[in-house]
Every structure is written in structure tokens, then in C-alpha cells.
Structure 1
Amino acid sequence: MRIGIIGAGALGGTFAALLARAGHEIEVTARGAGLAAIRADGIRLSGGYGEAHARVAAGELLTVRPELALVCTKAQDAEAALTANLELLDGVPLVIVQNGLDGVATAERIVPGSSAVGLLSIIAANYTEPGVVRVTTPATSYLGRGDGAPDAESIRLAAILSEAVPVVAIPGFRGAQWTKLIVNMLNAVPAVVGWSVQDVIRDRRLRRVVAASMREAVRTGIARGVRFGALQGLGDRRLRLFARLPLALGQVLPWLMGVRMGGVPNLGSTQQSLRRGQPTEIDFLNGAVVREAELAGLDAPVSRALTALVHEVEASGAPLAPERVLAAVRV
């Protein structure tokens, strides 16, 4: 199948290499040093899915109309990327591989002639060198849309992608998006202090901040009427219990997530963007919690503070001391 992948970063590069290895014809979009590296030597993948070296067509825009397209840009870049490739995407099935809550809705608005589904990937991959991706944690990805059972199109697309990497079509996709948002609360603190996720979780003081951000996000989802989907060992019942726990007990949740990551340092996608000197998608992670809390008539002070701290690191280019986090987030 001819598959276009818009955004060949950590996840886009992973899917491109694995789909090419499975025999699909791949064209990717990239920019700057990443584009130059892919044109010169393809995409080199290592880690959890084994070794792959995929020489794929690459450009700033797609040049051939695909039969299927994966949108793997950062959330803040999705609208511009879809608009730039609109002529070749209209009528093409779209799989939106993004964090946050708005990806499918954005695709449906920009490309109304296409059918769009979302894909939640728990794969942890480091992309700190152009054209080179290392998968630190392989995982099943989850595909769907809306609140109901998976439709025929979702099942079909999951089967195609599963030729390269495990993908499951799931019911209640909106609730699963919220669960992924909770998982992504692991991103902000490591990005601010410049540590791996595992190192942050091992620090008792910073682990408490992470747990507080996760609990705040869960309480916001509950206030918005969300039924959390099952994802990475988390689900509605467990998250609602977590929301009621004091932080002293709630810290076990990020601790367990850190244990599952294993020993290979996981930088998190937000920190990887900072290390590449690129804007982060923090406004679609902790920033989304702030906006959703406001819609529910609540406040989200932890996520608001962490969002501001990440933007401070974006502006300065240097991580902050853990004490700055503790001073900004009093929990």
C-alpha cells in the first residue's frame, strides 16, 4: 500500500521504518536536518522492534497521493501540515497519531472530504539525532474515534497497520484519549529539569508533583463527564480511585509507570522537542487540562504552573533546578 507519513519524528519515523519493513511504499515529510538526513541515508530504527533501515521518499510536502496517510506531527503543527498537503489528502483515509484531545476534530475540519480516526501510541522512542530513532519501550497502539464501538473503517485501518506494529481498534476512543492525557502528565517535569522520566520518578519530591498533575487531570476529566478508557493498565475504575487518594498514596501510580519503562532512560516527547530546540506541545497536554478545567468551572493550578515552566525553558534553552518546580507547584 502507498502510505504517506506527515512528520517523520520519533513516532512518524518509527511507523515509517516498520511499515516499510512490512513491504509498504512509504513517503514521509520532514524539515531541516531531519529531512536532509532521511534523504541522505533513510531512517535508521533500533531498540524494541529490532533493527530497520528504511530508505523512503522524503520531502517537505507529499508529492504522490497516498492510499492512507498518518499525521504524526506535534499537535501544534497539525493544522498547518494538513493545510499544506490538503490537495493530495482530500478523500484519503487519515490516521491522526497525536497527543492531546483535538487531533481528529482538527483533521475533520481541515480535510472534510476525508475519514479521520485517531491513534494513541504508548510507544516510547527517542529521536535526538536526525534520521535516527531508538524505541525504548514497544507497546500496542489503540485506534478509533468517538464514544461508541469501533466502526468498520477503524477495524480495517488497524489491520493494515498491524502488519508492521500491534494496533487494536477500541471502543470508547474519547475516554482512551483522556487516559493517554493522564499518561502524558509524565512529560512536563522531566522537560523542565532536564532529567529522564525514570530519574524524576525516583525523586520523592518531584514524583509528588507528577502525581499531583495526574490527579488534577483525572479530577478534571471526571468533572467533564469522561469515562476513562482502558490503556496501559489504567482504566476508569482505577483512575477514579486514584483521584480520591491522598498524594502520599497516589504517588504509587507514577512510580509503577516508571518501573514499566525499564532501565533505558526515557526523555519524554516534550523534553526531546526542547533538546532539538523546537516548540513543545505542552499547550495540548497540561494546557489542555487547564482549558478543560475552566470549561468545568474548576481551576488546574498544577498544570497551569507546569505549562508556564515548560514555556520558560523553551524561551531560555536551559533546564531549571528542581527547586524552581517545587516553588511553583506547592502540593
Structure 2
Amino acid sequence: MRIAVIGAGALGGTFATLLEGAGHEVTVTARGETLAAIRADGIRLSGAFGDAHAHPLALTRLTETPDLALVCTKAQDAAAAITDNAGFLNGCPVIVVQNGLLGVRTATDLLPDSECFGLLVIVAANYTEPGHVSVTTAAPSYLGRGSGAVDDETMRWQAVLGGPLRTVTIANFVGAQWTKLVVNMLNSLPAITGLSVQEVVDAPRLRRVLTASMRETVRVAMRRGVRFGSLQKLDDRRLRVFSRLPLWAGQVLPLGMRARMGQVPNRGSTLQSLLRRQLTEIDFLNGTVVREAQSAGLTAPVNALLTALVHEVESSGTSLPVNEVLERLAVLGRS
């Protein structure tokens, strides 16, 4: 099958390599140093999925319509990437591999003749240098669309992706996006402090702030009428219970995530963007919680401050000392 991967960063590079290894004809789109590196020596994958070396066709934009396309850009780059390739994507099945809540909706709006799906990814991958990706945590990915049951078209594409990408189908995809958004609260504090996710969770005072951001996210979703989808041992019942817990008790949630993470340092995608001097997708993570809270007549002060601090680090290029971060968050941490 001819599969296009739009965006060859950490996840795009991982998926392109695994799909080529499964016998598919893979094309990737990339720019700059990444494009040059892939054209020169392909994509080298190491870590939890094993070592592999793929040589996909690398282009700045598509030149023909594939049988299937995966959009693997950062959330803030999705609309431009889809528009740039719309002439060959419209009418082609498209799977959006993205954080946040808007990816599938953006693709559907821009590609009215395409069947659009979403893929929720728990894989932790580090883009170590152009053309080289290291996977620190291998995990299943979850394919679906809409708020209902799994449909036949979703099952069809799961059959294609299921082996190489360990893909499973998921019902109530929209609810599962919110569940993943709770998980993605792991990203902001590493980006602000320069610490790994594990180091953040292991630090009691940072873990308290992390728990507060997660609890705030769950409460906003509940006010918006969300029924959480089941993902990574989280489901609607457990998250609703979590929303009522005091912060000292709610810390069991990030601690459980930490236990499944292993010891290989996980930088998180937001910190990786900062290390590459790229804009982050924080406005589609913690920033989404702030906007959704406003729509529901609520406030989300923890997520608002974390969003602002990530933008501060984006502008300065320098992470903030933990003590300074805690001082600025102290008033919120007493809630």
C-alpha cells in the first residue's frame, strides 16, 4: 500500500520506518535538515521498537495521491501542512496523529472529500537528530473517530496499521481525546524546568502542581459534558473520582503513569520542541483547557499559568529554576 506520512519528526519518523518495514511503499514530507538527512541516509530508528533503517521517498510536499495518509505534524502546523498537500490529500483517507482536541476537525474542514480519523499515541519517542529517532516507550496507539461505536472503516484501517504500529480501535474517540489531554498535562513542567517527566513526577512539590493541572482539566471536561474514553488504564469513572480528590490523594494518578514509564528519561514532546528551538504546541494542550474553561464559564488558573510559563521559556530559550517555578505557582498550589 502507498502510505504518505506528513511530517517526519519523532512520531512521523517512527511510523514511516515501521510501515516501510511492514512492506508498505512510504513517502514522507519534511523540510530543512530533516529532509536533507532522510534523502541522504534515510531514517534510523532505535529503542523500544527495535533497531531499523528505512529509506522512504522524502519530499517537501506530495506529488501524487496515496492510498492512506498520516498527518504527524505538531498541532499548530497541521492546517498549513494539510493545505499545502490538499491537492493530493482531498479524497484520500487521512489519519491525524496529534495531541489536543482539534486535529480531526481541522482535517475534516480542509478535506471535505476525505474520510478522516484520529490516532491517539502513547509512544514516547525522542527526535535525537535529523533522521534519527529513539523510542523510549513502546505502547499501543488508538484509532477512532466520533463519539460512538467503532465503525467498519475504522476497523479497515486498523487492519492495515495494527501490526506494525500496534494499533487498536477505540470507541468514543472524542472522549478518549480528553483522556489523552489529561495524560498530556505531563508535558508542561518538563518544558518549563528542563527536567524529564520522571524527574518532575518524582519531585513532590512539582507533582502536586502536575496533579492540580490534571484535576483542573478533568473538571473542565466534566463541565463541558464530556464522557471520558478509556485509555491507558483511565476511564470515565476513575477520572470522575479523581476530580473530587484532594491534591494529596490525587497524586496517585501521575504516580501510576510514572510507574509505567520506566527509567529511560522521557523529555516529553514539548521540551523536545524547545530543545530544537521550535515553537511548542502548548496552546493546544494546557491552552486548550483554558479556552474550554472559558467556554464553560469557568477559569483554569493552573493551566493558564503553565501555558504562560512555557511561552516565557520559548521566548527566552532558557528553562526556569525549579524554586522559581514553585514560587510563582505557590499561590495556586494551596488550592
TM above 0.5: yes
Contact 2:75 2:103 in 1 (8 A): yes
Deviations 1:271-306 (A, max 9, x none): 000000000000000000001111110000000000
Q: Does 1:241 align with 2:241?
A: yes
- 1:164 is paired with a residue of what secondary structure? helix
1:67 partnered with 2:79:
no
Distance 1:128 1:305 in 2: 29
> For the residues of structure 2 that align with 1:205 and 1:169, how far apart are their CA atoms?
37
The answer as to 2:185 corresponding to 1:185 is: yes
Equivalent position SS for 2:240: helix
Contact 1:128 1:276 (C-alpha < 8 Å) held by counterparts: no
> Hey, what does 1:282 align to over in structure 2?
282
1:180-217 deviation per Cα after TM superposition (whole angstroms, max 9, x unaligned): 00000000000000010001111111011111000000
Equivalences for 1:81-230 in 2 at 5 Å?
81-230=81-230
Deviations 1:311-331, CA, capped at 9 Å, x for gaps: 011111110111232133231
Deviation at 1:170? Answer: 1.3
Partner of 2:4: 4
Helix, strand or coil: the match of 2:136? strand
After TM superposition, the score normalised by the length of structure 2 is 0.98
Deviations 1:83-105 (A, max 9, x none): 00011111000000000000011
Contact 1:61 1:85 in 2 (8 A): yes
Q: Distance in 2 between matches of 1:164 and 1:189?
A: 32
Aligned residues of 1:62 and 1:88 also touching (Cα < 8 A) = yes
1:21 alignment counterpart:
21
Secondary structure of the equivalent of 1:265? coil
3-state SS of paired residue (2:168):
strand
Which aligned runs of 4 or more in structure 1 are off by greater than 6 angstroms?
none
Q: Is the 8 A contact 2:68 2:93 kept in 1?
A: yes
Distance 1:276 1:35 in 2: 15
Provide the C-alpha distance between the structure 2 equivalents of 1:266 and 1:304, rounded to a whole number of angstroms. Answer: 24
Q: How far did residue 31 of structure 1 move?
A: 1.4
Q: Which amino acid in 1 is paired with 2:78?
A: A
Which whole-Å CA distance do the structure 1 matches of 2:328 and 2:174 have between them? Answer: 31
Structure 2 gaps, min length 5: none
> Any gaps of 5 or more consecutive residues in structure 1?
none
3-state SS of 2:312 partner: helix
Corresponding residue of 1:40? 40
Corresponding residue for residue 321 of structure 1:
321
Q: Distance in 2 between matches of 1:159 and 1:325?
A: 46
TM-score (normalizing by structure 1): 0.99
| 2:259 matches 1:259 | yes
Partner of residue 307, structure 1: 307
Contact 1:197 1:268 in 2 (8 A): yes
Alignment-mate amino acid for residue 54 of structure 1: A
* Structure 2 Cα separation of the partners of residues 288 and 267 of structure 1: 21
**Structure-2 separation of matches of 1:22 and 1:204:** 43
Q: Which amino acid aligns with 2:75?
A: A
Q: Distance in 1 between matches of 2:308 and 2:128?
A: 24
